[in-house]
Structure 1
Amino acid sequence: MPANLSFFAETKIPHQRNYGGVVFPAVLSPEAVQSRNPSVLTAAVKEQKPSLDSLLHTHGAILFRGFDSLATASDFNDVVEAFGYEELPYVGGAAPRTNVVGRVFTANESPPDQKIPFHHEMAQVPEYPSKLFFFCEVEPADGGETPIVLSHVVYERMKEKYPDFVEKLEKHGLIYTRVLGEDDDPSSPIGRGWKSTFLTKDKSVAEERAAKLNMKLEWAADGVKTIMGPIPAVKYDETRQRKIWFNSMVAAYTGWEDARNDPKKAVTLGDGNPLPGDIIYDCLKILEEESVAIPWRKGDVLLIDNLAVLHSRRPFALLAGY
């Protein structure tokens, strides 16, 4: 850990993994009880941001644990603002969400019994966030972990086991197809309607915003089919000098299912050929094997590098009264 991160103490927890001497994720806690105050944390983030950025670059993800005085979405927003990262409007994403305060949105609003498969946030569109923050305001009664996995590890394992398939992915990329209703469907994990997807009620504005994403739209009476791609499925991370598994292939193939969408048709190779189901499900197995799933505690903040790390969501049960 950088020596000048004096406000924080590096913490070890049972769920961490170790890759070549680098723990995943890094876990930071306050070094003193008085440091748990939200305003003290935000001041420390502003002061020590270069060191935190370096730590994030090395480890891919940082869990801030023990800041249990972070009680509200507003407290969390202050922490996010303290990092000063550029905000990316949520245009083109699939999940139904609601803005809570400032830069804070609800997590995927699909029913809690539904699993959200592994993905990089908005990997199916050309413009995606570089960083993601997660916050635990209320601990789930059961489940609800956010499993995370290092993207380059997945790439290396897939390349070793399925070199021909990975070569096709690198050559052709992927095409993603999703049918959107007019309004949000909270019963679906991909239930974001076209109005909230493109942040407009005007079809012509939606067309303009889709065009900026290089997305094709095919309008129907009750919604619109969006076609994105071919878009790369593997990227080269220049800052870490390694290839990464950067796509929503497994998420689309195994999870983009609702009344409008058939997941087997949601993603194909960039040349139009279907994906091999056996390899997709084996990739899912690799993702699960390499993932870290840390149970949430009240006040937890998780920061991940969206280029380095995929994430998912396990089903959960809410506490009584929520």
Structure 2
Amino acid sequence: MKTSPLQPHFGTIVTADPGETVADIDHDTVVSLIKERGTVLFTGFGASREDFDSFTDTISEDYMDYKGGGYVRKSVGGGKGEGKALLSTRYDHGRKTQMTFGLPLHGEMYYIDGRPQALWFYCVKPADADGQTTACDGAEVYNRLGQKWKDLLHEKRLMFLRVYRDGEWQKIYQTEDSAEACKFAEGNGITVEFDEAEKTMRTKYLVSAVLPTKWGGHTAYINNLLTVYMQMQMGRGDTSTVWLEDGSPIPDELMEEVKRVQDELIVDLNWTAGDFAILDNSRALHGRRAFEDTDREVYLRMVRSVPF
């Protein structure tokens, strides 16, 4: 098999030689690459879903579901994380077909303490056109930000505010019991107010936008800021907003610089059926290009902790 860089200092593509299968991939090489490179795409191995489950189980075992996540994902089960492999696309509030719009770069679940350390993606069927998963080195984003923005983000945390109406918090927290939902949220660093009369849940979460990476000694710009900021810019910030922790708005100039830097660094993971990838969720931002057909099928396994 051959290896090639996605970028000089970030990401690696591992390409199978003719006749090679997932069984030929060396475990220690994968561990070394994810620690050093942040993202590893495996292509040309023609992995089946069973191959993917078996191989990922040799690297990681502590899988997590999407309880407390930002929206609804479908579970597809499988492997040691039975019931904890997810479709990577959204099915909000009873939708029968997946949403196909593009997703801005973000870290996974950076609005809750119990976020995954690593992410596995597996492509069953790519979109007919576009629909690539995108990746970006959050450590290099941080390096390229102006010093005044670094200082601001070290000085003030982000404050995520959310309102879950009756019927919404039950899906997000996977329970009909409001006390159980509040207990889970509070156990993950979230401040909760529950209105018994309206059956409405209000939450507040504080987190730094810039954090140390698990490996490599980097500082990374990695968070869910851009997703929520863009929703607010489009007038959809009635139930999900983000501010600096003192309640002041996120400076537009900061977000313009973030988007400019990310545009310079973003790379596409060009899926073919049977490809898979692992991302370091403490360093690698990820997103998705928009697409049109609704048959795209990409799975996600979220790893709570890794043994290396």
TM-score, structure 2 normalization: 0.83
- Out of 273, 282, 292, the position equivalent to 1:307 is 282
Larger mean Cα displacement after TM superposition, 275-284 or 115-124: 275-284
Structure 1 stretches lacking a partner, 5+ long: 1-8, 184-192
Query: Shift in Å at residue 77 of structure 1?
Result: 2.5
Query: Shift in Å at residue 319 of structure 1?
Result: 6.8
Q: Specify the alignment match of 2:34 in structure 1.
A: 56
Write the distance in 2 (CA, Å) between the matches of 1:125 and 1:63.
27
8 A contact 1:250–1:280 mirrored in 2:
yes
Structure 2 counterpart SS, 1:285: helix
After superposition, where does 1:86-165 map in structure 2 within 5 Å?
86-101=62-77, 102=82, 103-110=84-91, 111-158=98-145, 161=146, 163-165=147-149
Write the distance in 1 (CA, Å) between the matches of 2:160 and 2:265.
25
8 A contact 1:178–1:261 mirrored in 2:
no
Q: Which has the higher contact order (CA 8 A, sep 6+)?
A: 2
8 A contact 1:93–1:197 mirrored in 2:
yes
> In the comparison of the two structures, how many residue pairs are matched?
284
Give, as a single letter, the amino acid of the residue that structure 1 aligns with 2:27. K
Matched, 1:167 2:148: no
Query: Shift in Å at residue 155 of structure 1?
Result: 0.3
After superposition, where does 1:34-45 map in structure 2 within 5 Å?
35-36=20-21, 41=22, 43-44=23-24
Structure 1 counterpart SS, 2:125: coil
Structure 2 counterpart SS, 1:225: strand
Q: Identity percentage over the alignment?
A: 23
Structure 1 counterpart SS, 2:120: strand
TM-score, structure 1 normalization: 0.80
After superposition, where does 1:258-269 map in structure 2 within 5 Å?
261-262=237-238, 266-269=241-244
Instruction: Specify whether residues 288 and 85 from structure 1 end up closer, same or farther in structure 2 by C-alpha distance, changes over 3 A only.
Output: farther
Give, as a single letter, the amino acid of the residue that structure 2 aligns with 1:172. K
- Out of 16, 20, 44, the position equivalent to 1:66 is 44
8 A contact 2:89–2:99 mirrored in 1:
no
| RMSD after superposition | 2.6
Q: Specify the alignment match of 1:296 in structure 2.
A: 271
Query: Shift in Å at residue 299 of structure 1?
Result: 0.8
Write the distance in 1 (CA, Å) between the matches of 2:265 and 2:287.
13
Q: Specify the alignment match of 2:55 in structure 1.
A: 79
Structure 2 stretches lacking a partner, 5+ long: 92-97, 298-308
Q: Specify the alignment match of 1:188 in structure 2.
A: none
Write the distance in 2 (CA, Å) between the matches of 1:90 and 1:239.
24
Matched, 1:10 2:2: yes
Write the distance in 2 (CA, Å) between the matches of 1:96 and 1:165.
33
Instruction: Specify whether residues 238 and 112 from structure 1 end up closer, same or farther in structure 2 by C-alpha distance, changes over 3 A only.
Output: closer
Query: Shift in Å at residue 294 of structure 1?
Result: 2.7
Query: Shift in Å at residue 118 of structure 1?
Result: 1.0
Matched, 1:227 2:211: no
Write the distance in 2 (CA, Å) between the matches of 1:149 and 1:313.
11
Q: Specify the alignment match of 1:215 in structure 2.
A: 190
Instruction: Specify whether residues 256 and 123 from structure 1 end up closer, same or farther in structure 2 by C-alpha distance, changes over 3 A only.
Output: farther
8 A contact 1:77–1:104 mirrored in 2:
no
Structure 2 counterpart SS, 1:195: helix
